[in-house]
Amino acid sequence: MKRFTLATWAVLWMAAISAFGQTTDLKELLSGKTIPLEMKFKDLDKEWRRVSASETGNMMQAYSAMLGGSGGSAYYTKGQTVTVGNETYIVAYHSQTKVINFFALAQAGQGGGGKMQEPEKLTPETPLMLSLLNLRMTGSLNDIRPFNLEQEIAAGEGASNPFAADMERARQQSQRISCLGNLKQIGLACHLYANDNREKFPDKLVDLLPNYATSKKMFICPDTNAQEGDVTYVYIKGLGETDDPDKILAYDADGNHKDGRNVLYVDGHANFMAEADFQKALAKQEKAQEKPAEAAPKEK
Protein backbone atom coordinates (compact mmCIF):
# COMPACT_ATOMS: atom_id res chain seq x y z
CA MET A 1 0.00 0.00 0.00
CA LYS A 2 1.35 3.37 -1.00
CA ARG A 3 0.91 6.42 1.17
CA PHE A 4 1.71 9.96 0.11
CA THR A 5 1.55 13.06 2.24
CA LEU A 6 -0.33 16.04 0.90
CA ALA A 7 2.90 17.84 0.07
CA THR A 8 4.30 14.95 -1.98
CA TRP A 9 1.03 14.45 -3.80
CA ALA A 10 0.68 18.14 -4.52
CA VAL A 11 4.19 18.36 -5.94
CA LEU A 12 3.57 15.40 -8.24
CA TRP A 13 0.32 16.76 -9.51
CA MET A 14 1.31 20.38 -9.72
CA ALA A 15 4.21 19.32 -11.91
CA ALA A 16 1.73 17.69 -14.25
CA ILE A 17 -0.87 20.45 -14.36
CA SER A 18 0.46 21.72 -17.65
CA ALA A 19 -0.54 18.39 -19.18
CA PHE A 20 -4.07 17.98 -17.85
CA GLY A 21 -4.91 20.76 -15.39
CA GLN A 22 -7.80 23.12 -16.12
CA THR A 23 -8.80 26.56 -14.96
CA THR A 24 -12.52 27.22 -14.86
CA ASP A 25 -15.20 29.06 -12.96
CA LEU A 26 -17.71 27.49 -10.62
CA LYS A 27 -20.72 28.04 -12.89
CA GLU A 28 -19.09 26.25 -15.78
CA LEU A 29 -17.93 23.46 -13.51
CA LEU A 30 -21.42 22.89 -12.06
CA SER A 31 -22.95 22.79 -15.53
CA GLY A 32 -21.33 19.41 -16.14
CA LYS A 33 -20.12 20.47 -19.60
CA THR A 34 -16.40 20.27 -18.90
CA ILE A 35 -16.43 17.51 -16.27
CA PRO A 36 -19.28 14.97 -15.87
CA LEU A 37 -21.24 15.38 -12.67
CA GLU A 38 -22.03 11.67 -12.50
CA MET A 39 -20.48 8.44 -13.70
CA LYS A 40 -20.99 4.75 -13.03
CA PHE A 41 -18.58 2.09 -11.89
CA LYS A 42 -18.73 0.47 -15.33
CA ASP A 43 -17.43 3.73 -16.90
CA LEU A 44 -14.07 3.47 -15.14
CA ASP A 45 -11.12 1.72 -16.78
CA LYS A 46 -7.51 0.80 -15.99
CA GLU A 47 -6.42 4.44 -16.15
CA TRP A 48 -8.36 5.20 -12.98
CA ARG A 49 -7.00 4.93 -9.47
CA ARG A 50 -8.75 4.22 -6.20
CA VAL A 51 -7.51 6.40 -3.33
CA SER A 52 -8.53 6.86 0.28
CA ALA A 53 -8.70 10.53 1.20
CA SER A 54 -8.89 11.94 4.70
CA GLU A 55 -10.33 15.42 5.04
CA THR A 56 -9.39 17.91 7.72
CA GLY A 57 -12.33 18.68 10.01
CA ASN A 58 -14.52 15.82 8.77
CA MET A 59 -16.24 14.71 11.99
CA MET A 60 -17.85 11.63 10.44
CA GLN A 61 -14.47 10.30 9.34
CA ALA A 62 -13.08 10.97 12.80
CA TYR A 63 -16.00 9.08 14.36
CA SER A 64 -15.45 6.18 11.94
CA ALA A 65 -11.79 6.05 12.94
CA MET A 66 -12.73 5.91 16.64
CA LEU A 67 -14.93 2.89 15.86
CA GLY A 68 -12.02 1.12 14.24
CA GLY A 69 -12.50 2.28 10.65
CA SER A 70 -9.86 3.74 8.38
CA GLY A 71 -11.08 7.28 8.92
CA GLY A 72 -10.89 7.92 5.16
CA SER A 73 -13.27 7.73 2.18
CA ALA A 74 -12.76 5.90 -1.11
CA TYR A 75 -12.50 8.09 -4.22
CA TYR A 76 -11.80 7.29 -7.85
CA THR A 77 -9.64 9.59 -9.95
CA LYS A 78 -7.39 9.80 -13.00
CA GLY A 79 -5.26 12.45 -11.35
CA GLN A 80 -6.88 15.41 -13.10
CA THR A 81 -6.97 18.74 -11.29
CA VAL A 82 -9.09 21.83 -11.77
CA THR A 83 -8.53 25.35 -10.49
CA VAL A 84 -11.45 27.48 -9.40
CA GLY A 85 -10.46 30.94 -8.20
CA ASN A 86 -7.38 30.48 -6.05
CA GLU A 87 -8.13 26.90 -5.05
CA THR A 88 -6.95 23.74 -6.77
CA TYR A 89 -9.02 20.57 -6.59
CA ILE A 90 -8.48 16.95 -7.48
CA VAL A 91 -11.25 15.74 -9.75
CA ALA A 92 -12.57 12.53 -8.23
CA TYR A 93 -15.75 10.50 -7.95
CA HIS A 94 -17.35 8.99 -4.89
CA SER A 95 -20.11 6.40 -4.56
CA GLN A 96 -23.34 7.66 -3.05
CA THR A 97 -24.15 6.33 0.41
CA LYS A 98 -27.22 6.65 2.58
CA VAL A 99 -27.12 9.18 5.35
CA ILE A 100 -26.69 7.33 8.63
CA ASN A 101 -29.96 7.31 10.54
CA PHE A 102 -28.66 7.64 14.10
CA PHE A 103 -32.21 7.64 15.50
CA ALA A 104 -32.93 4.22 13.96
CA LEU A 105 -29.59 2.93 15.17
CA ALA A 106 -30.32 4.13 18.69
CA GLN A 107 -33.76 2.49 18.57
CA ALA A 108 -32.20 -0.78 17.42
CA GLY A 109 -29.67 -0.60 20.22
CA GLN A 110 -32.40 -0.02 22.80
CA GLY A 111 -34.70 -2.69 21.44
CA GLY A 112 -37.18 -0.05 20.31
CA GLY A 113 -37.94 -1.58 16.94
CA GLY A 114 -35.43 0.43 14.90
CA LYS A 115 -33.90 -1.41 11.97
CA MET A 116 -30.17 -1.81 11.68
CA GLN A 117 -28.89 0.06 8.64
CA GLU A 118 -27.41 -2.23 6.01
CA PRO A 119 -24.61 -1.15 3.65
CA GLU A 120 -25.61 -0.75 -0.01
CA LYS A 121 -24.25 -3.36 -2.40
CA LEU A 122 -22.04 -2.11 -5.20
CA THR A 123 -22.76 -3.05 -8.82
CA PRO A 124 -21.44 -1.91 -12.23
CA GLU A 125 -24.47 0.42 -12.30
CA THR A 126 -23.67 2.06 -8.96
CA PRO A 127 -23.62 5.84 -9.51
CA LEU A 128 -20.49 7.84 -8.74
CA MET A 129 -20.90 11.51 -8.00
CA LEU A 130 -18.37 14.20 -8.73
CA SER A 131 -16.27 15.21 -5.72
CA LEU A 132 -13.72 17.99 -5.75
CA LEU A 133 -10.97 17.34 -3.21
CA ASN A 134 -9.37 20.57 -2.11
CA LEU A 135 -5.59 20.05 -2.14
CA ARG A 136 -5.18 22.53 0.68
CA MET A 137 -7.79 20.84 2.91
CA THR A 138 -7.16 17.19 2.10
CA GLY A 139 -4.99 15.69 4.84
CA SER A 140 -3.49 12.80 2.87
CA LEU A 141 -4.19 10.31 0.09
CA ASN A 142 -3.69 6.72 1.16
CA ASP A 143 -4.07 3.19 -0.14
CA ILE A 144 -3.53 4.22 -3.77
CA ARG A 145 -4.23 1.31 -6.11
CA PRO A 146 -5.30 0.63 -9.71
CA PHE A 147 -9.06 0.52 -10.13
CA ASN A 148 -10.47 -3.00 -10.42
CA LEU A 149 -14.23 -3.29 -10.82
CA GLU A 150 -14.46 -6.90 -9.62
CA GLN A 151 -12.44 -6.14 -6.49
CA GLU A 152 -14.58 -3.10 -5.69
CA ILE A 153 -17.82 -5.10 -5.95
CA ALA A 154 -16.37 -7.96 -3.91
CA ALA A 155 -15.19 -5.55 -1.22
CA GLY A 156 -18.63 -3.95 -1.13
CA GLU A 157 -20.34 -7.33 -0.69
CA GLY A 158 -18.00 -8.16 2.18
CA ALA A 159 -18.43 -4.81 3.88
CA SER A 160 -20.12 -4.77 7.27
CA ASN A 161 -22.03 -2.06 9.02
CA PRO A 162 -19.43 -0.40 11.29
CA PHE A 163 -22.13 0.13 13.91
CA ALA A 164 -23.61 -3.38 13.78
CA ALA A 165 -21.49 -5.05 16.45
CA ASP A 166 -21.77 -2.13 18.87
CA MET A 167 -25.50 -1.82 18.30
CA GLU A 168 -26.06 -5.53 18.82
CA ARG A 169 -24.19 -5.44 22.11
CA ALA A 170 -26.19 -2.38 23.17
CA ARG A 171 -29.43 -4.09 22.16
CA GLN A 172 -28.62 -7.20 24.16
CA GLN A 173 -27.70 -5.15 27.22
CA SER A 174 -30.88 -3.09 26.94
CA GLN A 175 -33.06 -6.19 26.56
CA ARG A 176 -31.37 -7.83 29.52
CA ILE A 177 -32.11 -4.79 31.68
CA SER A 178 -35.75 -4.74 30.54
CA CYS A 179 -36.00 -8.43 31.34
CA LEU A 180 -34.61 -7.78 34.81
CA GLY A 181 -37.32 -5.17 35.27
CA ASN A 182 -39.97 -7.73 34.35
CA LEU A 183 -38.73 -10.10 37.03
CA LYS A 184 -38.71 -7.34 39.65
CA GLN A 185 -42.33 -6.54 38.74
CA ILE A 186 -43.18 -10.22 39.08
CA GLY A 187 -41.53 -10.23 42.50
CA LEU A 188 -43.59 -7.23 43.61
CA ALA A 189 -46.78 -8.84 42.30
CA CYS A 190 -45.98 -12.05 44.18
CA HIS A 191 -45.61 -10.13 47.44
CA LEU A 192 -48.89 -8.32 46.87
CA TYR A 193 -50.50 -11.69 46.25
CA ALA A 194 -48.91 -13.09 49.43
CA ASN A 195 -50.36 -10.23 51.49
CA ASP A 196 -53.82 -11.47 50.56
CA ASN A 197 -53.03 -15.19 50.73
CA ARG A 198 -51.41 -15.95 54.08
CA GLU A 199 -47.88 -15.07 52.96
CA LYS A 200 -47.90 -17.67 50.19
CA PHE A 201 -46.91 -16.95 46.60
CA PRO A 202 -49.17 -18.21 43.77
CA ASP A 203 -48.84 -21.72 42.35
CA LYS A 204 -48.21 -20.28 38.90
CA LEU A 205 -47.42 -16.86 37.46
CA VAL A 206 -50.69 -16.49 35.55
CA ASP A 207 -52.53 -16.57 38.90
CA LEU A 208 -51.23 -13.02 39.38
CA LEU A 209 -53.59 -11.82 36.65
CA PRO A 210 -55.55 -9.62 36.73
CA ASN A 211 -55.42 -8.33 40.29
CA TYR A 212 -51.66 -8.24 40.90
CA ALA A 213 -50.10 -8.14 37.44
CA THR A 214 -51.36 -5.57 34.99
CA SER A 215 -50.10 -7.09 31.74
CA LYS A 216 -49.26 -10.48 30.26
CA LYS A 217 -46.17 -8.84 28.74
CA MET A 218 -44.62 -8.96 32.19
CA PHE A 219 -44.16 -12.71 31.72
CA ILE A 220 -42.23 -12.37 28.45
CA CYS A 221 -38.49 -11.73 28.22
CA PRO A 222 -38.09 -8.95 25.61
CA ASP A 223 -35.06 -10.72 24.13
CA THR A 224 -37.25 -13.54 22.80
CA ASN A 225 -39.75 -13.89 19.98
CA ALA A 226 -42.50 -15.07 22.34
CA GLN A 227 -46.04 -13.88 21.76
CA GLU A 228 -48.45 -12.44 24.29
CA GLY A 229 -49.81 -15.28 26.37
CA ASP A 230 -46.49 -17.13 26.50
CA VAL A 231 -44.40 -17.33 29.65
CA THR A 232 -40.64 -17.22 29.17
CA TYR A 233 -39.67 -17.42 32.85
CA VAL A 234 -39.34 -20.52 34.98
CA TYR A 235 -41.22 -20.15 38.25
CA ILE A 236 -40.61 -22.22 41.40
CA LYS A 237 -43.92 -22.86 43.17
CA GLY A 238 -44.45 -23.61 46.84
CA LEU A 239 -42.53 -20.63 48.22
CA GLY A 240 -43.70 -17.68 50.27
CA GLU A 241 -42.62 -14.62 52.19
CA THR A 242 -41.41 -16.70 55.15
CA ASP A 243 -38.85 -18.60 53.05
CA ASP A 244 -35.16 -17.73 52.89
CA PRO A 245 -35.04 -14.32 51.12
CA ASP A 246 -32.09 -15.50 48.98
CA LYS A 247 -33.93 -18.47 47.53
CA ILE A 248 -34.50 -18.39 43.78
CA LEU A 249 -38.15 -17.73 42.94
CA ALA A 250 -38.03 -17.33 39.14
CA TYR A 251 -35.47 -17.09 36.37
CA ASP A 252 -34.94 -16.83 32.62
CA ALA A 253 -35.81 -19.91 30.60
CA ASP A 254 -33.10 -21.55 28.49
CA GLY A 255 -32.00 -19.38 25.58
CA ASN A 256 -33.44 -16.05 26.71
CA HIS A 257 -29.97 -14.48 26.87
CA LYS A 258 -26.42 -15.33 26.01
CA ASP A 259 -23.96 -16.41 28.71
CA GLY A 260 -26.34 -16.20 31.64
CA ARG A 261 -29.78 -15.53 33.12
CA ASN A 262 -31.69 -12.99 35.11
CA VAL A 263 -32.77 -14.40 38.46
CA LEU A 264 -35.52 -13.31 40.88
CA TYR A 265 -35.27 -14.10 44.59
CA VAL A 266 -37.90 -14.52 47.31
CA ASP A 267 -37.29 -11.07 48.82
CA GLY A 268 -37.95 -9.42 45.41
CA HIS A 269 -34.43 -8.47 44.36
CA ALA A 270 -33.10 -9.69 41.04
CA ASN A 271 -29.76 -9.85 39.27
CA PHE A 272 -27.97 -11.34 36.27
CA MET A 273 -25.91 -14.48 36.83
CA ALA A 274 -23.37 -16.19 34.60
CA GLU A 275 -24.72 -19.54 33.44
CA ALA A 276 -22.24 -21.64 35.41
CA ASP A 277 -22.93 -19.73 38.65
CA PHE A 278 -26.67 -19.97 38.11
CA GLN A 279 -26.60 -23.74 37.59
CA LYS A 280 -24.63 -24.21 40.81
CA ALA A 281 -27.02 -22.02 42.81
CA LEU A 282 -30.11 -23.73 41.40
CA ALA A 283 -28.72 -27.23 41.99
CA LYS A 284 -27.87 -26.34 45.58
CA GLN A 285 -31.36 -24.99 46.21
CA GLU A 286 -33.12 -27.96 44.61
CA LYS A 287 -31.03 -30.40 46.61
CA ALA A 288 -31.87 -28.59 49.84
CA GLN A 289 -35.63 -28.41 49.30
CA GLU A 290 -36.10 -31.31 46.89
CA LYS A 291 -38.57 -29.25 44.90
CA PRO A 292 -37.53 -29.14 41.23
CA ALA A 293 -38.37 -26.05 39.26
CA GLU A 294 -41.42 -26.17 37.03
CA ALA A 295 -42.00 -24.01 34.00
CA ALA A 296 -45.18 -21.97 34.20
CA PRO A 297 -47.77 -23.00 31.55
CA LYS A 298 -48.86 -20.80 28.69
CA GLU A 299 -51.83 -18.57 29.26
CA LYS A 300 -54.70 -19.77 27.15
Residue 234 lies in a domain: yes
Query: Span 106-119, mean pLDDT?
Result: 50
Residues 120 and 176 placed together within one structural domain of the fold: no
Residues 13 and 43 placed together within one structural domain of the fold: yes
Stronger pLDDT, 105 or 185, i.e. the higher one: 185
Under the banding of pLDDT at 50, 70 and 90, the label for residue 151 is confident
CA distances from 40 to 46, 71, 95, 119, 261 (A): 14, 24, 9, 18, 51
Residues 223 and 83 placed together within one structural domain of the fold: no
Query: Span 233-258, mean pLDDT?
Result: 95
**Which amino acid is it at 45?**
D
- The residue range of the domain holding 175 is 168-295
Q: Please give the share of the chain, as a percent, with pLDDT higher than 70.
A: 71
- Residue-level pLDDT at 237: 93
Stronger pLDDT, 116 or 51, i.e. the higher one: 51
- Residue-level pLDDT at 119: 55
- Residue-level pLDDT at 70: 39
- Residue-level pLDDT at 77: 94
Position 295 pLDDT exceeds 60:
no
- Residue-level pLDDT at 248: 97
Q: Which of 162, 192, 227 is the last residue of a domain?
A: 162
How many CB atoms are located within 10 Å of the residue 250 CB? Answer: 27
Position 18 pLDDT exceeds 70:
no
Query: pTM score, two decimals?
Result: 0.50
Strand ranges, E, within the chain: 2-5, 22-24, 38-40, 49-55, 73-84, 87-95, 127-134, 138-146, 233-235, 248-252, 260-265, 270-274, 294-295
Are β-strands 22-24 and 73-84 bridged in parallel, bridged antiparallel, or unpaired?
Answer: parallel
Overall number of domains in the chain: 2
Burial 4-18 (b: 16+ CB within 10 A, else e): eebeebbeebeeeee
Q: What angle do CA 249, 254, 214 make, to 5 degrees?
A: 50
